[in-house]
Amino acid sequence: MDFDNAMLRSKIERNEEWDKWSKEIPFINFDKEWSIKIIPPFAGAIARFVVKDGENIISVYLDCYDNLGCFGSPYWEMYPRTYEDYEDVYRTGMKDVDDLIENIRDQFTKMK
C-alpha cells in the first residue's frame, strides 16, 4: 500500500471511529443452520453481513450515525422485510441482538 492510501485509510478509520465501535459492537449468537458472510461496510454502514438459510438471504447492516435511516442511536437494519404490517424496514438497537436474531428467524419463516 502506498503512503497516500495508508493516510486515507487512517483518516477514514478515525472518522468512522472503527476502534470505538469494534469494542462496543456486541457478539451475536447465530442459529447453527445459518451461513454468515461478512461483507465490506459500504454506503455509510459501520458493519455489514448477510445471513443465508437454504436459498434465502437476508442483508443486515449496522448504522451508528443515522447515515442510512433514522433511529436516534446505533441500530441494526435488516432487509428484506416482507411483513405486511410495516411500510419500512426492520430496525433494532445495536445492543438488542436477541431481537435482531428473533426477527431474522421470523423473516426466514415468512420467506419459506
Position 57, amino acid: I
Q: What is the pLDDT of residue 81?
A: 65
Buried b (16+ CB within 10 A) or exposed e, 10-21: eeeeeebeeeeb
Domains held by the chain: number: 1
Domain that holds residue 73: 3-111
Query: In a 3-state reduction of DSSP, which class is residue 55?
Result: coil
Scan for cell 447492516, then name that residue: 61
Q: pLDDT tens, 21-59?
A: 999 999 999 999 999 999 998 888 999 999 999 999 999
Within 10 Å of residue 108's Cβ, how many Cβ atoms?
19
Q: pLDDT tens, 64-97?
A: 999 988 899 999 999 876 555 556 678 999 999 9
Q: What is the pLDDT of residue 32?
A: 97
Tell me which of 14 and 85 has the higher pLDDT.
Answer: 14
- 91 alpha-carbon distance from chain centroid: 10
